[in-house]
Every structure is written in structure tokens, then in C-alpha cells.
Homo-oligomer: A and B are copies of this chain.
Amino acid sequence: MNNFSYQAPTRYTFGRGAEENIGREAHAEGMTRVLVVYGHSSARRSGLLDRVLKSLDEAGIAHMEMGGIDPNPTDDRVYEGIDIVRKNSLDGIVAVGGGSVIDTAKAIAGGAVYDGDFWDFWAGKAVMTKALPVGVVLTIPAAGSEGSGNSVITKKDGMHKISLRTDFALRPKFALLNPELTFTLPPYQTAAGIVDMMAHIFERYYSNTEDVEVTDRLAEGLLRSIIEMAPRVMAEPQDYQARANIMWAGTLAHNGLCGCGRVEDWASHGLEHELSALYGVTHGAGLAVVNPAWMTYAARTNPRKVAQMARRVFDVNDSDDSGAATEGIARLRRFYKSIGMPVTLAELGVKDPDIDALVRNVHINKGTPFGNYISIYPEDSRAIYALMAQDLC
């Protein structure tokens, strides 16, 4: 176990009707004039946005709105939000949505109190130490942004997508989690969210740091509970308890708990990033293809932790590490398929992948080598992309 610092101060209010606390929570954080950021029509159509605005009204909190945030949110909307905040002297940001909405809200919150260009933080030219307070009403369990200090923004000029990780500044002050708000998520989005949260755990779990037993067991426990609950939400979208477990797991998957005491990996996110960039695939669906391929390749030289995952998450009973790893990966693939996720590039809709371009781009963005559990050089990333093209089920 390595030395670490950890602080996850977000105040969670979880359960039915949680969103109706928005006025009280925003007031408790000292917000008086807020920007409400949201996505497309569903928040308005479902009546959620109205409930949020009503609660803010009742708490005497003035509000302006900025809707229409797209998946893979872009810097232009952040600049627009910063402008609204400054011109109207707003003092807080409320995000109503999933990861893209929350990440945009966070970027606005950090950029609004910074004299320079907000992109400086994402470009690594400045370190963010403060931001306006952000509150969240979560509607999509997937990205984990409601409890993390992270924000992923794409610069439109060049479509450069960068994840900023702050220890503290961008952690939401509060997050309101009502599982009922996820009842209407379409099956594909539900499943992609499940893969995404599992990937957030895998990226931390696959580490060469030894003796992180506590953190490993928490990670394995979250994976098991997600895998157990997933068939229930797929079979019955209004299964409140299953939705609740998935929602809470998604938050804990990415609030840093599963990284305490170890070096993390994040190679699979890098590999997936290029698929999304080149072929516009859904992040979670891309990860369902990338994660097992990466594990297959990693287990060839370093099967230990893959075997541990297989035994502890999928109850694989094989004392040989390579054998256990192979069987565990096969069960992971079957699980992804069972919830309607692709596990090959072809199933993802990428019939003729440009592996040269993928390899070139991933090393431009991630450097050479990248990863912790295994070090990835161009010959490795090429081999992993090639595995994604094979049907290994």
C-alpha cells in the first residue's frame, strides 16, 4: 500500500424524492443565484427540471438556465456558461443530468473564478484550486462525476478530449441521487453505464501495487454487486432496488475509494478514447470491447491480478493463474453480451478498423509507454486492438 491522500466530501442525499432537496441543499452551500445546466428535452419533458426550479424558487434562489449539453461536451458551451455566470454575478452551478452535464457544470464553476482561459487547467498550464460550488441532480449512473473531482471536456478546435482530475476543487458539494429518475433510461444506455462504472473500478484495480487488500476487496465487492444487479435492471427497468444499487455503485466506483493506496492504470480508457474519437462509439460500449481485450493481453505476461479478479468476482475455481484469468475474462465477456453490450469491434459497428491510426493516435495522446499493470508500447497497443477485432467468446 502506497502513501495516499483521500478526501471525498460530497454530501449525498439518496432515495425517492431526493431531487426535491435541491433548494435546501443549494441554500446550505450559500448559493443565492445559480446557473442550472442540463441536457436535452428529457429533463424538461419528464417534469424534473420544473421540480428543480420550483424547489430553487421556494428556497429563494434565483436561477438561469443553460440546456442542450451534448454527450462529449465541448469547450464552447463552457465559455458560454462562464459568460452567463460572470455577466449575472451567479454564485453556484446546479447540474441536472449525467456525466456530460456535470462535467460542463464543473468546468464552468472552475473557469468562472479564474482570470485566464479555463482551458489552461485542462491543458496543464494551471492548477485549479478553487471553483464555484456545484450541486448535482443525477439522472444517469455511469460516469461517476457526481462524486469525483474530475471533468472531461473536448476542445472543439482539433476535437481534443481531455480529462482533468482535481483532488478537491471540482468535487460537487452535494449530489441528489433518486433511482426513480433512471427508470426511463433506454436499455443500451443503462448497459453502457454499467460497463462504464465497472471500467472505473478495473482501471484502479489493475495495478502492480502490492498489499492493497482493503482497496482490492472494496473494488471486488462493488464489481460483484453491479454484476448481480445488472440483470434485474435490464429485465425490469422499474426495479427500484436494483436501480438503487447500480446508482450507488456507480458513484463509489469513481469517487476515489477504489484507488486508495495504489498506482492506477487507465490504459483501457486511453485505448477506448481513440475508438470514440475515430468511430463515434458510445464510451461504455467501447469499453466493453476494450476491457476484455486489454485483460486478455495483460494476462499473457502478468496474469496475477486478472486471475484474482476471476476468482473473487466470478468465482472461478482454477489454481493456475493463466487458466483462471482466461476463464474470468470469458465470463466477463459473456456478462457484457448478456446485457446487450458488444465485445468485438464488429459488434460495435467498426467492421474495418484502421488499427494503424488507432495505434498512432493513442500514443500521441497517452505517450509511450503508458499504463501501470502492463506497459504499453506500440506493438502492445497494436496487439490489443487486433484482439478487439477477434471473436473470443
Contact = CB atoms under 8 A, between A and B. Distances in A.
Interface of A: 1-18, 210-218, 220-222, 224-225, 228-229, 241-242, 244-245, 248-249, 252, 260-261
B9 A4 contact: no
Counted per complex, copies of this chain come to 2
Contacts of A3: 14-18
Nearest to A8: B8
A214 B9 contact: no
Which of A4, A17, A214, A249: most chain B CB closer than 10 A?
A214
A215 B221 CA distance: 9
A224 B217 CA distance: 8
B12 A7 contact: yes
Contacts of A6: 11-12, 14
A264 B353 CA distance: 53
Contacts of A213: 225, 228-229, 245
B214 A252 contact: yes
A241 to B, nearest CB: 4
A1 B222 contact: no
B211 A241 contact: yes
B5 A11 contact: yes
B211 A218 contact: no
Contacts of A13: 5
Contacts of A7: 9-12
Nearest to A10: B7
12 contacts: A1-B241, A3-B17, A4-B12, A7-B10, A8-B9, A9-B9, A14-B261, A210-B241, A213-B225, A215-B248, A217-B221, A218-B252
A211 B245 contact: yes
Contacts of A211: 241-242, 244-245
A244 B1 contact: yes
Given A213-B229, A217-B225, A241-B210, A12 B1 contact: no
